[in-house]
């Protein structure tokens, strides 16, 4: 099932959080992350995931190095101190969002004052 651009835009942030969670616990590589994300229902290919990983590295959230793994060269990503801080901040925001998603009804927003008439 192809996701709309809007869905993809919404899920990109969640995918980044998934990446940080796994990189926090162990070194990761792209193919393994694609398989893991697939387990959560994200259909993400290399043309989307690798630029995302590279961007997270450029942004200082991850660092990578090439390693030989089972006779293959793989780019292995680990979380940075900045990535750990970002993950901790994301946990707080995700918890807040989870709470709000399950409020019924959600908290009321402040009402907008009616427009004032011009003299």
Are the CB atoms for 28 and 64 separated by under 8 Å? Answer: no
Give the residue among 5, 16, 85, 86 at the shortest CA–CA distance from 53: 16
| 18-58 residue pLDDT tens | 999 999 999 999 999 999 999 999 989 999 999 999 999 99
| pLDDT range class, residue 110, cuts 50, 70, 90 | confident
Torsion of the alpha carbons at 32, 14, 46 and 5, rounded to the nearest 10: 160
């Amino acid at each position: 099932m192809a996701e709309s651009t809007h869905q993809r835009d919404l899920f990109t942030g969640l995918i980044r959080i998934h990446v940080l969670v796994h990189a926090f616990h162990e070194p990761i590589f792209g193919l393994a992350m694609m398989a893991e994300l697939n387990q959560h229902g994200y259909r993400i290919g290399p043309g989307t995931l690798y630029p995302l990983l590279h961007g997270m590295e450029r942004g200082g959230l991850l660092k990578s190095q090439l390693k030989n793994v089972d006779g293959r060269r793989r780019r292995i990503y680990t979380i940075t101190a900045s990535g750990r801080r970002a993950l901790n901040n994301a946990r707080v925001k995700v918890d807040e969002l989870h709470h709000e998603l399950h409020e019924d009804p959600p908290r009321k927003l402040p009402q907008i004052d009616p427009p004032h008439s011009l003299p």
